[in-house]
């Protein structure tokens, strides 16, 4: 009887040791997640107006959200955009994620790569420009905008505008304290010739003061 008890005690001990042995061999590592090329966040957007006849005449207006997804507010260039009368400008964009100052991501490239899913829409003070006329295509997608680019792999068979390159011609009339809005819409699988500024999701939506003098 005693030997049986001892045998049972031995088994009990064996079980305990087995449990401890298993516990002892769990692995551990302390690696941080690998660095990612953050393409979701946009912190800096610059509108670059270049005089088509004088490439040294460049007007830039920027909007910066210094902490990206943080709660800090967006800072829009208070000076706004100041253009000359009777001049034609080519508008291009610099779109970046500059959260990591040592590794600034060019989101503009990302958008170019997926130009069939993106379009920039514009809105401005009615009659601010001689060409395009009107108030832009944010309120109505069919309103005129001089798109100088089109996408490659589009949904409805013909090249649709993207808006990374546009041209703008000011008239003779000056303007003070007007408005200029650029809005990038992400329209995966839905972008067509007729989709507008409320279709899809907004990547940026920025308003600047517009002066023409």
Binding mask 70-89 for other proteins (x = CB under 8 A): xxxxx---------------
Size of the site for other proteins (CB under 8 A): 56
Residue 145 C-alpha from the chain's centroid: 21
126's tokens: 């009615």
Q: How far apart are CA 25 and CA 4, in angstroms?
A: 32
| Binders in 21-60 for other proteins, by CB under 8 A | 22-23, 26-43, 45
Q: Is residue 156 involved in binding other proteins (CB under 8 A)?
A: no
Binding mask 105-134 for other proteins (x = CB under 8 A): -----xx--x--x-----------------
Q: Is residue 141 involved in binding other proteins (CB under 8 A)?
A: no
Q: How many helices (H) and strands (E) does the chain have?
A: 2, 11
Q: How far apart are CA 159 and CA 23, in angstroms?
A: 62
181 beta partners: 123, 207
Identify whether the C-beta of residue 190 lies closer than 8 Å to the C-beta of residue 204: no
Q: Which residues bind other proteins (CB under 8 A)?
A: 8, 11-12, 15-16, 18-19, 22-23, 26-43, 45, 63, 65, 67-74, 99-101, 103, 110-111, 114, 117, 186, 188, 190, 198, 201-206
């Amino acid at each position: 009887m005693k030997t049986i008890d001892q045998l049972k005690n031995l088994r009990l001990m064996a079980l305990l040791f087995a449990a401890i042995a298993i516990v002892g061999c769990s692995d551990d590592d302390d690696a941080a997640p690998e660095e990612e090329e953050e393409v979701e966040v946009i912190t800096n957007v610059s509108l670059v107006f270049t005089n088509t006849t004088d490439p040294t005449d460049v007007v830039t207006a920027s909007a910066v959200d210094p902490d990206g997804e943080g709660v800090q507010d967006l800072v829009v260039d208070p000076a706004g955009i100041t253009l000359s009368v009777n001049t034609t400008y080519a508008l291009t964009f610099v779109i970046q994620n500059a959260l990591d100052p040592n590794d600034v991501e060019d989101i503009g490239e990302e958008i170019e790569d997926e130009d069939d899913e993106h379009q920039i829409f514009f809105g401005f003070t009615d009659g601010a420009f001689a060409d395009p006329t009107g108030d832009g295509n944010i309120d109505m997608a069919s309103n005129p905008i001089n798109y100088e680019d089109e996408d490659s792999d589009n949904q409805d068979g013909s090249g649709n505008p993207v808006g990374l390159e546009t041209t703008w011609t000011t008239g003779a009339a000056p303007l003070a304290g007007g408005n200029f809005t650029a809005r990038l819409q992400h329209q995966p699988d839905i972008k067509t010739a007729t989709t507008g500024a409320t279709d899809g999701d907004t990547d940026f939506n920025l308003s600047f003061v517009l002066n023409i003098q």
